[in-house]
Amino acid sequence: MTQNPVLKELPGVKGQLLPVCALCEEVPPRGIAGGYLIKGMFLCETCESAILDLKVGSHQYEFYMERIKKLLR
Ligand SMILES: [Zn+2]
């Protein structure tokens, strides 16, 4: 048994690299072109513009900050 069965059983990979947003966990419709790679994590356009519109102290701001803190750990 020298073969690694994991390498040929990658679920969801069909010859295309589809990034999943680190914040909302969605795949943007335009794929990798529909977002940004920041510090090794992918952020979709929707979350990027949401973050830019956040008001400090709002519930959304807290939500995104918590998620980002966990991701950058
Ligand atoms: Zn997102």
What's the 23 CA to ligand 1 centre distance in angstroms? 5
Count how many domains the chain has.
1
Can you give the residue range of the structural domain that contains 28?
18-72
What pLDDT score does 40 carry?
81
What's the 43 CA to ligand 1 centre distance in angstroms? 6
Distance, in Å, from the CA atom of 37 to the CA atom of 44, rounded to the nearest integer, reads 9
User: Using one digit for the tens of pLDDT, what is the confidence trace for 13-67?
Assistant: 445 568 899 999 999 999 889 999 887 889 999 999 998 999 999 999 998 889 8
Q: Which residues lie below 8 Å from residue 47, measured CB to CB, with a gap of 6+?
A: 21, 23, 24, 35, 64
In a domain, 13, yes or no: no
User: Using one digit for the tens of pLDDT, what is the confidence trace for 23-34?
Assistant: 999 999 998 899
In a domain, 5, yes or no: no
pTM higher than 0.85 for the full model? Answer: no
What's the 70 CA to ligand 1 centre distance in angstroms? 15
What's the 41 CA to ligand 1 centre distance in angstroms? 11
In a domain, 24, yes or no: yes
What's the 35 CA to ligand 1 centre distance in angstroms? 8
